[in-house]
Amino acid sequence: MSDVTPIAPHGGALVDLVVTGDDADALAAEAANLPKLTLGERELSDLEMLAVGALSPLTGFQGEADYHAVLDSMHLTDGLAWAIPVVLGVSDEDLHRIGGASSVALVAADGAEPLAVLRVGERFARDKAKEAISVYRTDDPEHPGVKALFDAGDTCVAGSLEVLALPAHGDFVNYRLTPAQTRAAFAERGWRTVVGFQTRNPIHRAHEYLQKCALEIVDGLLVHPLMGATKSDDVPPDVRMRCYEALFDGYYPKDRSMIGIFPAAMRYAGPREAIWHAIARKNYGCTHFIVGRDHAGVGSYYGTYDAQRIFEGFAPGELGITPLMFEHSFYCVRCEGMASPKTCPHDDADRVILSGTKVRDMLRNGERPPVEFSRPEVANILIAAMRAEG
C-alpha cells in the first residue's frame, strides 16, 4: 500500500542470521559433529537478539577490538554508536573441551538440537573489572548485572553466527515479533513514526500516561516488554503479560498500539542500557523511544537523570532514533488529571504518589491501589497472582 519509508536499522541493513532451506540441512549435518557449547539463559537471549537482527549490525559475538572500543568509547571500531558489549563468556572447562575448534555448535541447556554454529574468529580474555566499571559504573557484586558478569566465564569466544533455529518459547507466541515482523506490521498500519516503550514491570497509570503523551505526537505505539532474564523479585512474565493485555483491552486504541516481546535479558546497566535499548528499538522500526527517570536502573547505582543525560554525549543523528525524555508522572487531584512536575504547579499533598513498596504491600493484602494510580483490571490480576503465590 504504502508510501511509508521505515527508519533504517542501525548500520543501514537489518541482519538476519537464520539459515534456511538446503543450507540449513547442510548446517545441521555439520553442527551434529561439532563440539557443543551449552548457553545459559542470558547468552540464549543474546543469540536470539543477534539472530533476528535486533542487534544489527552485529552478526555474532563481538571480538576483542570491538569489546574494548565499546567499553572505552561507546562506539564500535567502525565508529558506529554501541553501548554494551555482546560477548560470549566461556568457562575454562568449556574452553578446554572445545579445544582449538574453528566452529562450535551452540545448544540450549534444555535442548539437544544445535541452535547455531559459531565460526570462531578469536578467543580473548574478558576484562571483567574494566567491563563492570565501564558498563555498570560499579564493581559491587550485589549489582545484578555485575554479579552476572562476574559469574560468567573468563574467556570470550567471538565470531559470526549461522543460526538454525531460534530458542524455543512455549509462551506468548503471538507476541514474539522479530524486527522484520514489527517493521512489516508498522508499514501495514501506515505508521510513519512509532514510539517504543521498554518495560519489565506491570504498567500503571503513570507509564500509561507517558505512552499516551508520546502517542499524541507519533502514529503508533509499540509496548515492548523485556521478557528475557530479570531479577527474581521482578513480576513474572506471564503475570505481566496478562496486565498488558487487560490494559490494551480496556484503554488503548487498537489501531494505534501494539504489544511485541523484546527477548533481551535485563542488564540493569542504567544509562548505557538506555542507549542499547534505544538502538535495538530502532532495529525493530521505532523512530522514537521513551526514556523515563532511572531507565534500566536498579537500587541507587545511577542518578535519576543519568539515563537521559547520556544521550547528550552522542552527535545528532548518531543514534538515529529520537529519545523522548519524561519526568515521573502522577494523578493530581487539583489538576484533576494525570500530570508531571513539568505540568502541575501543585505539591505532593495533592498528588497520588505511592512507593513501590507501598503498592506491593497493598496488593499482597488484597487491597487495590487507588484507581488514579492503577487500573482496577491490572490491580485485580496482580492481587490474584500474589494470592496464588501464597
For Zn ion, the closer of residues 28 and 335 by Cβ is 335
Stretch that binds Zn ion, among 130-138, 231-239, 302-310, 333-341 (CB under 5 A): 333-341
218-242 CB burial, b ≥16 within 10 A, e <16: bbbbbbbbbbbbbeeeebebebbbb
Residue 338 makes contact with Zn ion by CB under 5 A: no
Choose, by CB under 5 A, the member of 52, 84, 164, 332 that binds Zn ion.
332
Shortest Å distance, C-beta 252 to Zn ion: 25
Shortest Å distance, C-beta 337 to Zn ion: 8
Stretch that binds Zn ion, among 17-25, 186-194, 285-293, 330-338 (CB under 5 A): 330-338
Residue 383 makes contact with Zn ion by CB under 5 A: no
* 41, 103 contact by CB (below 8 A): no
Q: In whole angstroms, what is the distance from residue 385 CA to residue 389 CA?
A: 6
> What's the grid cell of residue 127?
576484562
Shortest Å distance, C-beta 205 to Zn ion: 14
Active-site pick, 126, 137, 183, 200 = 200
Binding-site size for Zn ion (CB under 5 A) equals 5
The 10 Å Cβ neighbour count of residue 80 is 18
Residue 80 makes contact with Zn ion by CB under 5 A: no
- Residue with CB nearest Zn ion? 332
* 126, 155 contact by CB (below 8 A): yes
Residue 34 makes contact with Zn ion by CB under 5 A: no
Stretch that binds Zn ion, among 143-151, 195-203, 337-345, 379-387 (CB under 5 A): 337-345
- Please confirm, yes or no, whether 200 is among the known catalytic residues: yes
Choose, by CB under 5 A, the member of 169, 309, 334, 387 that binds Zn ion.
334
- Please confirm, yes or no, whether 201 is among the known catalytic residues: yes
For Zn ion, the closer of residues 218 and 344 by Cβ is 344
Shortest Å distance, C-beta 336 to Zn ion: 8
Q: In whole angstroms, what is the distance from residue 80 CA to residue 235 CA?
A: 35
Task: List C-alpha distances in Å: 323 to 28, 173, 245, 287, 320.
Answer: 41, 29, 25, 9, 9
Dihedral pair phi/psi, residue 236, rounded to 5°: -60, 150
Task: List C-alpha distances in Å: 258 to 22, 163, 175, 202, 314.
Answer: 35, 28, 9, 16, 29
Shortest Å distance, C-beta 208 to Zn ion: 18
Residue 346 makes contact with Zn ion by CB under 5 A: yes
Shortest Å distance, C-beta 369 to Zn ion: 19
* 263, 54 contact by CB (below 8 A): yes
- How would you class 216 by CB atoms within 10 Å of its CB: exposed for 0-12, middle for 13-18, buried for 19 or more? exposed
Task: List C-alpha distances in Å: 226 to 36, 104, 260.
Answer: 28, 28, 9
Stretch that binds Zn ion, among 60-68, 168-176, 265-273, 343-351 (CB under 5 A): 343-351
Where does residue 336 fall: left (phi above 0), alpha (psi -120 to 50 degrees), or beta otherwise? left
* 70, 80 contact by CB (below 8 A): no
Residue 344 makes contact with Zn ion by CB under 5 A: yes
C-alpha angle 146-148-151 in degrees, rounded to nearest 5: 110
Residue 335 makes contact with Zn ion by CB under 5 A: yes
Stretch that binds Zn ion, among 168-176, 198-206, 238-246, 342-350 (CB under 5 A): 342-350
Active-site pick, 97, 189, 201, 360 = 201
For Zn ion, the closer of residues 81 and 332 by Cβ is 332
Task: List C-alpha distances in Å: 213 to 31, 178, 193, 208, 293.
Answer: 49, 26, 14, 9, 16
Q: In whole angstroms, what is the distance from residue 30 CA to residue 40 CA?
A: 23
For Zn ion, the closer of residues 117 and 332 by Cβ is 332
For Zn ion, the closer of residues 139 and 327 by Cβ is 327
Catalytic residues: 200-201
Query: Where do contacts with Zn ion occur on this chain (CB under 5 A)?
Result: 332, 334-335, 344, 346
